[in-house]
Amino acid sequence: MIKKRQILVIGNNTNGCTPKHEKIAYDVGVEIAKSNSVLITGGLGGVMNACSHGAKDGNGITVGILPQDDPKFANDYCDIVIPSGMGFTRDFLNALSADGVIIVGGGSGTLSEVCAAYMSKKPMVAIRGIESSITPYIDGYVDHRKNVKIIGADTAKEAVEKILKLITA
């Protein structure tokens, strides 16, 4: 049996998540499902909920890795719920579980996950045109080590195509 690709999608939680974020995240979820990859998110609201909804509508598999120790916090579109009880530390679990990461906006929590993925040299693609804590790093690096370039994409479809190329490269 061949292991399925696992793509982590990160971005704004319910706070700060706009209809634009939700639409892009939903479309990313649909595209991940179409690619026969497994969607991983933090399992909560905002971008995580919208992306999971899109993946479910696309008949995909969704995994939510929660910071809480209670599965009731998961959004309604998570097939597999992992209540880590790890709080913010779960950002590292999310990053290490992924073959690649797609970023849809975000604040300091998203930046934490980006740093965890960056230190683990996980391929990353970020949606351009959404002002966020990630904006200064799109099409560049987080620091002088140049571990992995954060590639920019303009659409959900382009983001998934790019991350799939990076994962299989």
Res 2: pLDDT:
83
1 inside domain: no
- pTM for this entry: 0.97
Quick: pLDDT tens for 30-60.
Answer: 999 999 999 999 999 999 999 999 999 999 9
| Distance in angstroms (rounded) separating the CA atoms of residues 111 and 120 | 14
| Distance in angstroms (rounded) separating the CA atoms of residues 111 and 83 | 21
Res 131: pLDDT:
85
Q: Indicate whether 169 pLDDT > 80.
A: no
Residue 97: give its domain's CATH number: 3.40.50.450
Q: Indicate whether 71 pLDDT > 80.
A: yes
Phi, psi values for residue 25, rounded to 5°: -60, -40
Report the length, in residues, of the chain. 169
Number of domains in the chain: 1
69 inside domain: yes
Could you list the residue range(s) of the whole structural domain that residue 146 is in?
6-168
158 inside domain: yes
32 inside domain: yes
Res 16: pLDDT:
86
DSSP one-letter string for 41-94: E-SSSTHHHHHHHHHHHTT-EEEEEESSS-GGGS-TT-SEEEE---GGGHHHHH
Question: CA angle 21-67-92, nearest 5°?
Answer: 85
| Distance in angstroms (rounded) separating the CA atoms of residues 50 and 34 | 16
Phi, psi values for residue 75, rounded to 5°: -70, 165
Q: Where are the beta strands (DSSP E) in 91-146?
A: 100-104, 124-127
Quick: pLDDT tens for 128-151.
Answer: 999 899 999 999 999 999 999 999
Max CA separation in the chain (angstroms): 41
Quick: pLDDT tens for 92-128.
Answer: 999 999 999 999 999 999 999 999 999 999 999 999 9
Identify which of 162, 131, 161, 92 has the alpha carbon closest to the alpha carbon of residue 84. Answer: 92
